[in-house]
Structure 1
Amino acid sequence: MDVDLQNIKKWVILYPIYINSKKTLAEGRRINASKACENPTCTEVYDCCTHLKIPCVIETEKAYPRDFMQRGRVRVMLKKADGSFSNPAITSRKQLMLQVAELVPRHPGRTKKQEAATSAAAGSSKSGKGGKKKR
Structure 2
Amino acid sequence: MQTPEQIKVESKTWKTIYPPYIDSTLTTSQGRRLGKVNCIPHPQLMEISQCLSSLGLRHVIDQHAGFPKDIFKQGRIKVRLFADDKKPYNPQVNCKHSLLQSIAKMIKTIPNRKVEVPAYLAQMEIEKQNQPRQKKQTLNKKKHKNA
Query: What's the TM-score bracket when you normalise by the shorter of the two chains?
Result: 0.7 to 0.9
Report the counterpart of residue 114 of structure 2 in structure 1. 113
Structure 1 length-normalised TM:
0.76
Q: Which has the larger radius of gyration?
A: 2
Matched, 1:12 2:10: no
Aligned AA for 2:53? T
Aligned AA for 1:91? N
Equivalent position to 2:92, from 89, 94, 106: 89
Aligned AA for 2:19? P
Deviations 1:3-51 (A, max 9, x none): x824211000000000000000000000011111111011111111111
Displacement, 1:112? 5.3
Matched, 1:24 2:27: yes
Q: 1:1-135 alignment to 2 at 5 Å?
A: 5=7, 6-107=9-110, 111=112, 113=114
RMSD of the alignment, in Å?
1.8
Displacement, 1:61? 1.1
The DSSP-based 3-state class of the residue aligned with 1:113 is coil
Aligned residues: 110
Aligned AA for 1:69? F
Q: How far, CA to CA, are the matches of 1:44 and 1:88 in structure 2?
A: 21
Q: How far, CA to CA, are the matches of 1:18 and 1:68 in structure 2?
A: 14
Aligned AA for 1:11? W
Deviations 1:103-133 (A, max 9, x none): 112335xx1537xxxxxxxxxxxxxxxxxxx
Q: How far, CA to CA, are the matches of 2:53 and 2:73 in structure 1?
A: 22
Q: How far, CA to CA, are the matches of 2:83 and 2:31 in structure 1?
A: 27
Report the counterpart of residue 121 of structure 1 in structure 2. none
Structure 2 length-normalised TM:
0.70
Q: Identity, % of aligned pairs?
A: 27
Distance 1:57-1:107 versus aligned 2 partners, 3 A rule: farther
Q: How far, CA to CA, are the matches of 1:52 and 1:33 in structure 2?
A: 23
Aligned AA for 1:95? S
Q: For structure 1, which runs of at least 5 residues remain unmatched after alignment?
A: 115-135
Aligned AA for 1:28? G
